[in-house]
Structure 1
């Protein structure tokens, strides 16, 4: 029986994303493209995106990015618009948090958008009532 040399297999292929740490050139939108923020992931390589122009679109993650670039709710992405379907688009690129902040600094993204903090367009003052105050006598009863 031959010995395993340890050169291949599933475990060898995992963890090959060392190139993600390198700084890459900032990509701006062109004609037929739009910036957007992911509202929610739908599964099957699709997501619901709120584009900067105010339209909510159903976006398809392209095959080159599928299972290689992980997209979550709140991420800033670049989508390619379809000529024949305005309510659908294709995800071209996912911006890293520092790239999204640089886009916001350049004025490409509006000031109302929250960069990579979670689902977009939420008011911060709504979370103020998330706790309950107890009086001293209520604490003694517990």
Structure 2
């Protein structure tokens, strides 16, 4: 018979999710940081992001965020640039949709940025209505 490995089970180790309703202060970029939008998830805590300085970078999700903050395609993130590797960066912070709209309002990110890109792709597929007229069909 297996021994117990401590106090409680999986739900106790998972912890509480208290930060849902909290409003945090909006964090702006500093020197050595840049805003980016996640274009593609690559696995192993990495993703491909399009930075708003016009470059495409391979980003690594920092250890403090892994398995706590889920980064998805289309999310607006704050990345820390590397001095020694310009093609790579580290994801420091993920902005919520409300915070991303605020950044757009403050003109920190361009107005042409699609904030809900992942959702809009799915919605476009539902808009395709095929009109079929039975009068046009000949007798077979």
Task: Quickly name the TM-score band, shorter chain normalised.
Answer: 0.7 to 0.9
| Equivalent position of 1:92 in the other structure | 92
**Aligned length, in residue pairs:** 133
Q: CA RMSD in A?
A: 2.9
Q: Give the 3 Å change call, closer, same or farther, for CA 127–106 of structure 1 in structure 2.
A: same
Cα distance, 1:28 vs structure 2: 0.1
Separation in 2 of the partners of 1:84 and 1:136? 66
Encode CA deviations 1:4-34: one digit per residue, 9 max, x unaligned. Answer: 9xx5221223362221320000000001100
| Equivalent position of 1:51 in the other structure | 51
Separation in 2 of the partners of 1:84 and 1:135? 63
TM-score w.r.t. length of structure 1: 0.81
Separation in 1 of the partners of 2:11 and 2:58? 34
Gaps of 5+ in 2: none
| Equivalent position of 2:108 in the other structure | 108
Separation in 2 of the partners of 1:140 and 1:105? 56
Separation in 2 of the partners of 1:15 and 1:116? 29
Cα distance, 1:117 vs structure 2: 3.6
Separation in 2 of the partners of 1:134 and 1:77? 44
Structure 1 window deviating more from structure 2 (111-120 vs 29-38): it is 111-120
| Equivalent position of 1:69 in the other structure | 69
